[in-house]
């Protein structure tokens, strides 16, 4: 079923989740791989371009995803987790959503204000905001810091899902990957 039910995520929420997860992981992987290629080589530039494409896909997905999210109920977890665990997981999810918006926006604004054109799937992005080069430099630093935050938060998030499945033995993970009801 496309929509969420009382007990499991629907097809749309799952598609949004896994496509975004792949794009976030790809954005991080490409920018880390870039470091293996010497400056000025075509492969290094290709890694950067791939980082931008993956990052822009994250931004493209997150807005319809959030709109969809607000129209859907979150499936219950059985057995019901402790209130504090539930609160922590909500905090992590909203932090991930915020990072999926903030990271691409910071990347775009910083790059454009350094005078670089950004191409996405063959189109050139229009310039939305103008800031000074100093501010752009600070935005880039924040982008790199938040890039590391999303990396570690995603690792924790995935580990928590496996922990629920393996040790708590509840249906947190199967609601997202198992049979749809």
For residue 104 the two structure tokens come to 């691409």
12 touches ligand HEM (CB under 6 A):
no
Give me the least distance between CB of 24 and ligand HEM, in Å please.
4
Which H helix or E strand runs over 119?
strand 119-120
Give me the least distance between CB of 125 and ligand HEM, in Å please.
8
Instruction: Point out which residues pair with 124 in neighbouring strands.
Output: 119
157 touches ligand HEM (CB under 6 A):
yes
- Give, as one character, the DSSP assignment of residue 170: -
Residues 53-112, interacting with ligand HEM (CB under 6 A): 55-56, 58, 69, 74, 89, 93, 96-97, 100, 103-104, 107-108, 111
24 touches ligand HEM (CB under 6 A):
yes
How far apart (Å, rounded) are the C-alpha atoms in residues 3 and 166? 27
27 touches ligand HEM (CB under 6 A):
yes
How far apart (Å, rounded) are the C-alpha atoms in residues 162 and 43? 35
The label of the residue with tokens 């938060």 reads 153
Contact 170, 160 (CB under 8 A): no
Q: Using CB under 6 A, list all residues that contact ligand HEM.
A: 17, 20-21, 24-25, 27-28, 31, 51-52, 55-56, 58, 69, 74, 89, 93, 96-97, 100, 103-104, 107-108, 111, 118, 143-144, 147-148, 150, 154, 157-158, 161, 172-173, 176
């Amino acid at each position: 079923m496309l929509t969420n039910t009382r007990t499991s995520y629907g097809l749309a929420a799952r598609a949004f989740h896994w496509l975004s997860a792949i794009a976030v992981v790809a954005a991080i992987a490409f920018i880390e791989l870039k470091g293996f290629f010497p400056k000025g080589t075509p492969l290094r530039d290709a890694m950067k371009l791939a980082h931008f494409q993956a990052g822009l896909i994250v931004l493209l997905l997150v807005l319809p995803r959030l709109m969809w999210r607000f129209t859907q109920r979150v499936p219950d977890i059985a057995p019901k987790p402790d209130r504090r665990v539930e609160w922590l997981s909500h905090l992590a999810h909203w932090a991930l959503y915020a990072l999926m918006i903030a990271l691409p926006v910071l990347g775009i604004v910083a790059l454009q204000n350094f005078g670089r054109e950004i191409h996405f799937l063959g189109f050139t992005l229009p310039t939305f905001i103008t800031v000074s080069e100093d501010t752009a430099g600070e935005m880039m630093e924040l982008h790199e810091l938040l890039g590391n935050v999303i990396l570690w938060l995603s690792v924790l998030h995935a580990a928590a899902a496996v922990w629920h499945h393996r040790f708590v033995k509840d249906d947190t993970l199967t609601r997202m990957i198992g049979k749809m009801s």
